[in-house]
Homo-oligomer: A and B are copies of this chain.
Amino acid sequence: MKDKVNAGIIGASGYTGGELMRLLLNHPHVNLEMATSRKLAGQNVSKKHAHLAGLTDLEFEELDPVAVRQRCDVVFLAVPHGSAMDIVPQLIGSGLRIVDLSADYRLGVDEFEKVYGTKHHDPRKAVFGLVELHPEVKGETFVANPGCYPTGATLAAAPVVNAGLADIAVFDSKSGITGAGVNPSQASHYPNMAENIQPYKLTTHRHQAEIWQELNGLGGLDSVNFTPHVIPAIRGILTTAHLFLKEECSEEDIRQLYDSFYSDCPFVRLVDDIPALGNVRGSNFCDIGFEIDANSNRLVVISAIDNLVKGASGQAIQNMNLMCGFRETDGLWNAGLAP
């Protein structure tokens, strides 16, 4: 691939769009060529994303698939679920690299229709872009970027599931409120969110299907359980994975298992202490720590990611890097904003 690719973002007015731009503007191999938004076409990007002022003069455009194919080498779809499946068919096939941040191509068509309760128009299957589990992303042209919760939950449990050691998993996940998007709602209303932690969709969140799919691909579990919460934090997902083991394991066994499983994964950091969201804030890292409860043969694994970076836009760029032949860490090798 050439040294510098032209990148476009379709649906760039929201948080993941803003985050893609923040990161791509500093990427050594990317020229940010295009950002589309139906509502904001014609406006300067930094009018909406004021943190980008001075760094770019880009203006939002209307989406024009022909222009995308002509001007871009790689394109990110940051559109709502259900929209990507209308756009992808107009883009695919021309050599353009596509990273879809929506849910449309993460599950099989049948599973998608069951979980999202809506018809799928496009039977195409993308590679699931959790690079740590899917190195086959390298060289691909169409990747479905994982959901935020599935990223944190799957990375927390993958080594143990892959080793066939666990039978029950309870993922108790806590997300910053940006996961709910840029539009104000009762959930994101400060007086409701501050001084609170709000569980929601206790047993019915759609991301469970992704977690199930990915862990199943590693051998599976008898029971995969997922309950999400929003916390008074802008960014971050901390997942407390309660993994019931079939047999006794030492902490040393587990450490070796994780070390080995993630030995080629620059963004997964196995930490000695318990992960904290501040250490990954704004970065593409996933920090993992754990402890064993000998009484009940329970392994408690904590994973921490930034939901907008490793849980969305950063991971999308990580995918792009591999798809385009760049180094996996290009443009992403920065520390978290701690404190």
- Residues of A bordering B, CB below 8 Å: 15, 18, 21-22, 25-26, 49-55, 168, 170, 172, 174, 176-178, 182, 184-186, 188-200, 202-204, 223-225, 227, 229, 231-236, 238, 240, 242, 244, 266, 269, 271, 273-274, 276-283, 285, 287, 290-296, 298, 300, 302, 333-339
Cα-based distance from A50 to B214 in the complex (angstroms): 29
Asked whether A225 lies within 8 Å of B199 as measured between CB atoms, the reply is no
B189 adjacent to A184 (CB under 8 Å): yes
- Within the assembled complex, what's the spacing in Å between the Cα atoms of A189 and B276? 13
A227-B199 in contact given A186-B184, A193-B190 (Cβ < 8 Å): no
A300 pairs with B203, CB closer than 8 A: yes
Chain multiplicity (copies): 4
Residue pair B197, A51 in contact (C-beta under 8 Å): no
**How far apart are the CA atoms of A54 and B51 in the complex, in Å?**
28
**A185 to B185 alpha-carbon distance, docked (Å):** 8
Output the least CB separation between A131 and chain B (Å): 16
- Please report the C-alpha to C-alpha distance between residue A174 and residue B175 in the assembled complex, in whole angstroms: 13
Find chain B residues with CB under 8 A from A335 CB. Answer: 21-22, 25, 51-52, 55
With a cutoff of 8 Å between Cβ atoms, the chain B residues found around residue A198 in the complex are 274, 276
Is B54 a contact of A269 with CB atoms below 8 Å? yes
Task: Give the CA-CA distance A177 to B233 in the complex, in Å.
Answer: 15
Q: In the complex the two chains form, what is the Cα distance from A231 to B204 in whole Å?
A: 24
Closest to A294 in B: B203
Question: Nearest Cβ distance between residue A144 and chain B, in whole angstroms?
Answer: 24
List of B residues within 8 angstroms of A224 by Cβ:
296
Task: Give the CA-CA distance A200 to B294 in the complex, in Å.
Answer: 17
Smallest CB-CB A-B distances: 6 pairs: A203-B293, A191-B339, A184-B184, A51-B338, A51-B336, A202-B291
Q: Could you tell me if B25 and A274 are in contact, using CB atoms closer than 8 angstroms?
A: no
A-B CB contact pairs (8 Å), 28 listed: A18-B339, A22-B334, A26-B334, A50-B271, A50-B273, A53-B271, A168-B168, A168-B244, A178-B191, A182-B189, A184-B184, A184-B186, A188-B189, A189-B189, A190-B232, A194-B195, A195-B233, A197-B277, A199-B238, A199-B302, A202-B290, A202-B291, A203-B300, A225-B242, A225-B293, A227-B242, A229-B240, A235-B339
Q: A55-B333, A274-B202, A293-B203 are in contact. Are A194 and B234 (CB under 8 A)?
A: yes
Q: Known contacts A233-B232, A266-B54, A300-B227; is A194 also within 8 Å of B190 by CB?
A: yes
Interchain nearest-CB distance for A77 vs B (Å): 21
In the complex, what's the smallest C-beta–C-beta distance from A233 to chain B, in angstroms? 4
- A21, A197, A269, A334 interface centre (most CB from chain B within 10 Å): A197
Q: Which of B50, B294, B338 sits near A50, CB closer than 8 Å?
A: B338
Min Cβ gap A228→B in Å is 10
Which of B168, B174, B302, B336 has a CB less than 8 Å from the CB of A202?
A: B302
Contact pick for A298, options B192, B200, B225, CB 8 Å: B225
Contact present for B188 and A184 (CB under 8 Å): yes
Contact for A51 among B53, B185, B280, CB less than 8 A? B280
Give chain B residues whose Cβ lies under 8 Å from the Cβ of A282: 282, 337
